[in-house]
Amino acid sequence: MAAPGPVTRQVSGGTAPVPAPSGPERWQSLAAAVAELPVLDARGQRVPFGALFRERRAVVVFVRHFLCYICKEYVEDLARIPKSFLQEADVTLIVIGQSSYHHIESFCKLTGYSHEIYVDPEREIYKKLGMKRGEEIAFSGQSPHVKSNLLSGSLQSLWRAVTGPLFDFQGDPAQQGGTLILGPGNNMHFIHRDRNRLDHKPINSVLQLVGVQHVNFTNRPSVIHV
């Protein structure tokens, strides 16, 4: 588990990210810095972020926004992780979005996701963790979790936007996500900050770090990307 790279302090407004930890103590301070910040559940109830991992180990996946077709397809694969696999390893899976909580239920229906999910609509946790805003041009390889090509995926996202009750992106479209392994307590074991929309960690590589058995995500028709 490599230590996270340096985080550049934001120049414009908003909460400045906490400096990236360089060792176990700094990782713990980073977790403590976000533990008291709130997330919202599907009913709009405020929950301290730290309550999600204080008593347990958790894989926490921050997504870009709920209309992002890549996030949708990534979460569709997260939904395929059997709960029994997580229970055997005593691990919780949590998705954090940055939309209004009103979008949680429809996003779960769309993706089939039934594990825990919350939102950080003000992106305070994203900022404190140093999650990138904007696209960094970097080669990310072929994701095993992206089924659609750019054109079809973008059209699907646009269609969901215009047919929804509100025309919005269900979050800041410039915000990138990331993946963490946290808990119990303010223990941070792993952090990956996405550099761009395709830079998410392959799910099985994260599951391996927490002792969850391998999940087969390949039993689907091949898609030609253009």
> For 118-131, what is each residue's pLDDT tens digit?
999 999 999 999 99
Stronger pLDDT, 65 or 17, i.e. the higher one: 65
User: Domains of the chain: which residue ranges?
Assistant: 28-210
pLDDT of residue 210: 96
What average pLDDT does range 146-152 have in this prediction?
55
Write down the residue that tokens 């996500």 correspond to: 177
Residue 127: partners with Cβ closer than 8 Å, 6 or more residues away: 10, 14, 15, 16, 17
Nearest to 129 by CA among 18, 219, 5: 18
Length of the chain: 226
- Residue of 38, 30, 32 lying closest to 7 (CA atoms): 30
**φ, ψ for residue 51 (rounded to 5)?**
-65, -20
Q: Reduced to 3 states, what is the DSSP secondary structure of residue 209?
A: helix
CATH class of 28-210: alpha beta
pLDDT tens sequence across 157-197 = 444 554 555 545 567 888 999 999 999 999 999 999 999 88
Q: Is the pTM of this model over 0.75?
A: yes
